Structures are given as C-alpha cells and as structure tokens.
Structure 1
Amino acid sequence: MATNPTIGEGRTLIADSADALDRVRGLLPAIRERARMVDEDRHVSDATIDELRQSGLFNIVTPKTLGGSELGFADLVRVTAEIAAVCGSTGWVYGVLAGHSWLLNLFPAAAQDDVFSNPDALIATVFRLAGKVEEVEGGYRLQGGDGRFCSGIDFADWVIIGNGITRADGSFEPRFFVIPRSEIEVVDDWYTVGMRGTGSRTIRIADSFIPAHRSVSLAEMLSGNSPGANAHKGAIYRMPFADIAPFSIIGAPIGMAQGAVRNFAEQLGQRLSDAGDVELGEQSATYARIAQASAEVDAALALVLRDAELIDRAHSPADISPLDRARIPRDWAWAAQTARYAATRIFEASGGSGIYDGHGLQRVWRDVNSAAQHFAFTWDSAMSRYGRAASGLKPSEFALPNRRK
C-alpha cells in the first residue's frame, strides 16, 4: 500500500465496464476528427490527452490503493480497441500510457509514492535501454543510456527502463528502473511508414542517479513477487509482468482492423444505396470479403478478451497454468497478425483510390501493419513456445529482446 495517504486524491474514478465504454465513446467523434492531423504531425493531439485524463480512463487498471479504478485488463483492451478504431496512433499511445502504469505496482511502495504523488502522472517504457548502470551508495548511476521506441514519451512524466547491473563477482543482474522525464533527452527520429502519430522516439539519458527504491529486479518482475506488488489486494497486481504487459497494446491493432472493416462497409453501403439489383449482385465477392475480415477480427478480439478475463478473475498467480502462460502470448501474436491480414484484405478491395494520402484506409493499413511488427506479436516465436508447452516440453526462458527492434 502507498505510504502517502494523499496518493490518488482528485482522480476521476470509473464505476464499471459500461461506464468505461460510455466515457470513451463520448470522446470518439473528436478523436476521429483529429486522426489525419495526428498522422501528419507525428503527435497525438494534446486536446485528446487532456480529454482522456479528465475522463479517468488513464487510471483504468491503476489499483484503488493508488487512487485508480482497478477495473482490469479486459476493459483496457476494449477501451484501447474503441480508440484505435478511429485513430490507430491515439489508441496505441493510450494503451501504453494506461496499461504500462501497471508495471509500477511491482516497484517498491516509495517509488509508487514518487510517481503517483501527481494524480495525473503518466508512464512510458523502454524495455531495453543501452548504457551502463553501476551500483553506488544509495542507489544506481546510469550513464550513456539510449533506447528506441518510447511510445507516449510526448506526454510521459516518468519512464520505466530495462537495463541491469554487473555485480562484483562479474554476474549480471537485469533490473528495471523508473526515471523522471526531466532527466531524459528525446531524439526526434520517429519517421516511419506507420503509427506515425505515436511519436515513439528514441530517448537518451546521459547521466542519472537513480535512488535504490526506484528499481526492481527482473526476477521479481517475472515472478510478480515483489514488496510493491504484495502491497495491493488484487491478484492482477501480483502477476508476472511477462503475462501482462502486451495486454496494454494488443487492443490497438485489433481496433485498427475493426475500424477498417466498419468504415469500408459503411462507405460501400453509401455508394450502392441507389444501385439496382444487377449492380448489387455484382458486389457479392466484396460482401464476402467484408464478412471474412469481420469474422477474423471478431475472433481475434474474443480470444484476447478470454485471456484478459482469465487474468482479471484470478485469485492468485498460481491460478494461471504453465499452458495458459504459453497460450496467452500465442493469442496476442495470432490476434495481431490476424488483424493485420484482415485489414489488408479490406485494403485490397479499396482500389486505386485507396493509395492516396487523403484516403483514411491507407493510414489504417500502414498503422496496423506497423503495430503487428512489435516483438510481442512475433508469430514464429509465440507459436514455437506454445507448441513446446502443449507437447509437455521444457519452456524457453523469458528474456528481453537483445536487439534494437
């Protein structure tokens, strides 16, 4: 539990799943209107972030002990998908900033106090940051830090980074650290084919002292058994982070594909509203394409929600079996890749007009293909891990990706 009794004061709370959906749907018309500007500016609208703050949606999975609504990851996936259906970049940034705050629950209570003393604080992440960390009196010193793909950095107050320390005996201990935004330089290098509006730029940290209480070992993160996690009542705050983190972003590619199918079908209906029977009949292949793509996206969402609800219902991390732990990443990867191909199926039917910058479908197609490139959604490795587990073979060990991807 937070040691500061004022933590979380002033936050807007969300009552339940229906309340969360009502709140986000009230914001969607404005988010949709800003989508093209977000892509062109490579920056989510400041107005949108302010509206999301005021709605309380950023605190959807924050524990009640820290002033949050503590709804669960199924609701986070649903809300992220709703936003991404009208603006992919905004949905992705929302998912990161709302979901990755969960990681802070595994840090010591004093770190939680540091961050949430500001009830509006937002947290970004770089899971693997280059640079050297040394253990010093009172904490750690990070020098020469450099890491890419810091989604949400434009709005973050703190950043959780992954690195590690070399012990006196030469052994290396992977650790996570939380660092204030004021000590971070942002490099404007986010020039990409898709998800341009996420502004997922490179960060650099030249020299930073990190107090000891703002760090937690990877071993504790993977077990979910840390002093900070044990301070919260809900089992979701004691889950291994490898079972949780991608729930923050998987709603985005699914939502993007939902938006592509929905918008294409609506536009087709408008175009054919005055058509005769012959012309309507000639579009049978297009109707079938819409049906197949929508079924694929519905299946992807249903699969991910089943897994999220399993996590949300758990009374203990022990309720999640080893096979569940292999299946959940399988489903993340399958859902993301299925969303990618469903959106591509729709884009193929858009014709030559779909390639123009002013056509919204090409933006969605770029965004969903970019989102599906995330390492958490890597098809081959996720399928291999599940196949090993289903066959009763020893699972591979979790490791942060040792590459700049």
Structure 2
Amino acid sequence: MTGMLLAPRTTSDTFVSAARAAGVPAGRHAARADRERRLSADVVEALVEAGFSRALVPARHGGEATDFATLTEAVAAVGEGCASAAWIGSLLAYTARFAAYLPAEAQAEIWADGPDSRLVSSLVSTAATARATDSGWHLSGTWTYASGVEFSDWALVMAMVPGADEKPQARFFAVPRSAYRIEETWDTVGMRATGSHTLLVDEEFVPTHRTCLMDDMFAGRGAVSDELRHSQPTFAVNGLTFAAPILGAARGALKLSARALAEKTARGNEPSETQRIAHARAAGEIDAAGLLLTRAAQSVDRARATDDVLVRNRRDCALATQLLVGAVDTLFRGGGTRSQSASDPLQRIWRDVNSAASHMVLQFEPAALAFTRGPLDAARAEKSS
C-alpha cells in the first residue's frame, strides 16, 4: 500500500495538469525505462500522486469524480512523455473501476488505507483453477500480461468455475500482494516498461466476498456503487483504456517531428514539400483520432451506453488506433535515418505505438463486424416477417 492520502481534486483541469506534470519525469526516464523494462519508482509515485489510482474509485472510498473524457486526456498527457507510463496510469484507473463490482466487504479491504491502492488485473490464463468451498474458493493458476504487477497491492484475476447449471462461467477473484508471486516474462519489442509479467497463485483461499461474476462486470450490472461510471458496460469504455496512451504517444511523436522540421529550417536547410505534407497529414490523423476518442468518452459520461453507443465506441477506438499507427509510421519514415538511431526517441515511440495497437481490444475487424451486426440482424428480421 502507498498509505498516501492526497488532497481532493474537484476539477478536470487540475487532474490533467497533474497528469501533465507526471509526464515530465516519465518522459525524462523513458529511454532508461525502455532499456530496463520497468518504470522507476519515482515515475510510479508520480502517477499515483497525479491521481490515476483513485480516478475511478467509488466516492465512498475516497475516489475522485473523474469522468472518462478527463481521464482520457490525462492518460494522453502522460503518453506524450512515455507510452508505457501512460499505459500503467490508465490501467491503475480502469482496474479500480473493475473492483467497484466486488461486494462492499472486499472494497473495504482493498481501500482500507485510502483510495490509492495499486490494482492490476489479468484475464489471460492457460492454467487457472478455482475449487469451491462453503465460504469461498481455493485458487491456483498462472496469469500473463499483468501490466504493472511489480508495484501492485492487489490483483484481479479470472478463472472458470461451474455455474448454477454446471456450465462454465468466468469469475473474477481479488487477491492481495502476499498471495501471488511474479515471474519476469515480459521482454518485447515495444511497451517494454509496462512490466507486463506473469502472476502466479498457489492454493490461495479467496473468500466469496472477494469474487464477482465477469458477466456482471462486463454488462455493467451489480456494482455496489450507483455512480454512472460504474454502470457502463465494459466494451463501451475499455477501448479508451488502451487507445488513450497511443494518442499521447502519437502527439509526442508529432512534437518531435515539428521540432526536427523547425531545426532544419533554422539551419537554412528547408524541409522538402514531401516532408511538410507528411507532417500535416500525420497531424490531421492524430487530431481526428483524438476527436473520435473524445466523443466516445463523452458519450459514456452523459448516459449509460445503449447497444448502439457500445458498438460505435468500440469501432471508434479501433479506428482511432489505426489512424494513430498510420500517423506515427508516417512521422517515423519521414525522420529518415535519424529516427532509426537507437538513441532517437521517435523509434521508441514507433515501437511502442505499434506494440500497443496489437491489443485485442483495439482490433478493427471484430469491432467492425460488431458494429454492422445490429443493422443486418434487423434487416433479416424484417425480411422474414
């Protein structure tokens, strides 16, 4: 636990400003974090102090009244300095939103020392078992891609259990840091500093009150909190979780490109028209992606997502990601051999953006199929009536 109680924040500008301030040390340490495959303790503390860990915590436990649009902009602000730090900041916030679906007793345990507990989660397990008892479950398993696990206080992990009709159903389990080990397995081309290592649990007893059904969480029902942000279906908001860091990284790449063009001009070496056009196109694509993500966030800030909003948000987050990848690719190519130097920050951003965009939530094809399913089903129903 951090044991840190922070002064309450009441405005979106304050949070975004704090996030931008956290992005300064994140950017300063980004190259080192990439080499060492972990964020420094100072950067993690800066993210906590900025308010990411408490952003979506229920108000009854000291959480902030942060809306999704503000959180998206705050994550992007950090991402301008370091995509991995932004990824962790985003997951600190959104994993706490998951914990709002746990029973009240579990929430009281998780946030007993204040709203800044550092939560991580993993849905990915090749070997997870949960044996039921009268008062809970005996949990064992191995969960991969647990971003930020090295500095976590609690973990939310998923295992399949028999349902009422004996059909398998997914259940989330909350386990404290003392209950799991970490195996360092994350060694990738991009997003290296997220520390998305493997989490291991061996025959840990998890009381019933520290569990909830994944279907309830994904559907946005059953949360103890009655706040709107805790009643949104997961697919209406989880694209924002992973697209916002990419948005910030792309903005950072654009600033590097603009600086390079300005420096060339100052030296009397005018950029070519091709370079200027490429920069303008990338800037437009990044702006367009930002507008898509802002609309998605604002839609779930206003009201509970309908099915139409859910599939549109899923589509828009995936499409925004494609635009951002294309923009960064353009800027990277435009940088020539300079950008390909191992010491140049643009190549790190290029690796990070392409790596982050591979997340399954951000794939356009399934999002597009989900978006078109409703109208096509309606057309089929009309034809058969």
Change (3 A) 1:330 1:168: closer
Determine if contact 1:13/1:56 at 8 Å carries over to the other structure: no
Cα deviation code 1:266-289 (max 9, x no counterpart): 1220122131xxx53x51111111
Task: Specify which of 234, 240, 251 is matched with residue 241 of structure 1.
Answer: 234
Q: What is the aligned partner in structure 2 of residue 170 from structure 1? A: 166
The 1-side partners of 2:259 and 2:77 are apart by: 17
Task: Specify which of 141, 144, 150 is matched with residue 148 of structure 1.
Answer: 144
Matches within 5 A, 1:25-36: 25-36=20-31
Give, as a single letter, the amino acid of the residue that structure 1 aligns with 2:195.
G
Change (3 A) 1:15 1:167: closer
The 2-side partners of 1:191 and 1:17 are apart by: 36
**CA-CA distance at 1:98 after TM superposition:** 1.8
Determine if contact 1:134/1:166 at 8 Å carries over to the other structure: no
Q: Secondary structure at the match of 1:244?
A: helix
Q: What is the aligned partner in structure 2 of residue 138 from structure 1? A: 135
Q: What is the aligned partner in structure 1 of residue 221 from structure 2? A: 225
Cα deviation code 1:248-276 (max 9, x no counterpart): 2221111111111111111220122131x
The 2-side partners of 1:393 and 1:215 are apart by: 37
The 1-side partners of 2:236 and 2:154 are apart by: 23
The 1-side partners of 2:289 and 2:259 are apart by: 21
Give, as a single letter, the amino acid of the residue that structure 1 aligns with 2:274.
A
Cα deviation code 1:100-153 (max 9, x no counterpart): 21111111111111100122211111023331112112111112x112111111
TM-score normalised by the chain length of structure 2: 0.93
Task: Specify which of 353, 371, 377 is matched with residue 386 of structure 1.
Answer: 371
* 1:304 to 2:300 alignment: no
TM-score normalised by the chain length of structure 1: 0.88
**CA-CA distance at 1:12 after TM superposition:** 3.0
The runs of 5 or more residues in structure 1 that have no matched partner are 1-7, 395-405
Q: Secondary structure at the match of 1:373?
A: coil
Determine if contact 1:106/1:238 at 8 Å carries over to the other structure: no
The 2-side partners of 1:158 and 1:169 are apart by: 31
Aligned pairs, number: 376
Cα deviation code 1:185-229 (max 9, x no counterpart): 111111101000001011111221111001111232133221xx2
Which aligned segments of 4 or more residues in structure 1 are displaced greater than 6 angstroms?
none
Cα deviation code 1:8-61 (max 9, x no counterpart): 993332211111122122233322111101101100111011122223343222
The 1-side partners of 2:121 and 2:369 are apart by: 27
Give, as a single letter, the amino acid of the residue that structure 2 aligns with 1:284.
E
Cα deviation code 1:63-108 (max 9, x no counterpart): 3211011211111111111111111111111111122211111111
Cα deviation code 1:170-192 (max 9, x no counterpart): 32121111111221111111110
* 1:12 to 2:7 alignment: yes
Give, as a single letter, the amino acid of the residue that structure 2 aligns with 1:344.
D
Task: Specify which of 199, 206, 210 is matched with residue 202 of structure 2.
Answer: 206
**CA-CA distance at 1:353 after TM superposition:** 2.3
The 2-side partners of 1:310 and 1:368 are apart by: 25
Matches within 5 A, 1:3-82: 10-82=5-77
Q: What is the aligned partner in structure 2 of residue 83 from structure 1? A: 78
**CA-CA distance at 1:243 after TM superposition:** 2.1
**CA-CA distance at 1:350 after TM superposition:** 1.1
CA RMSD of aligned residues (A): 1.9
Q: Percent identity?
A: 27
Q: Secondary structure at the match of 2:74?
A: helix
Of 243-252 and 367-376, more deviation after overlay is shown by 243-252
Determine if contact 1:189/1:201 at 8 Å carries over to the other structure: yes
**CA-CA distance at 1:169 after TM superposition:** 5.4
The 2-side partners of 1:82 and 1:292 are apart by: 21
Give, as a single letter, the amino acid of the residue that structure 2 aligns with 1:351.
G
Task: Specify which of 256, 263, 268 is matched with residue 261 of structure 2.
Answer: 268
Q: Secondary structure at the match of 1:346?
A: helix
Change (3 A) 1:168 1:69: closer
Determine if contact 1:344/1:365 at 8 Å carries over to the other structure: yes
Q: What is the aligned partner in structure 1 of residue 358 from structure 2? A: 373
Q: Secondary structure at the match of 1:301?
A: helix
Of 58-67 and 182-191, more deviation after overlay is shown by 58-67
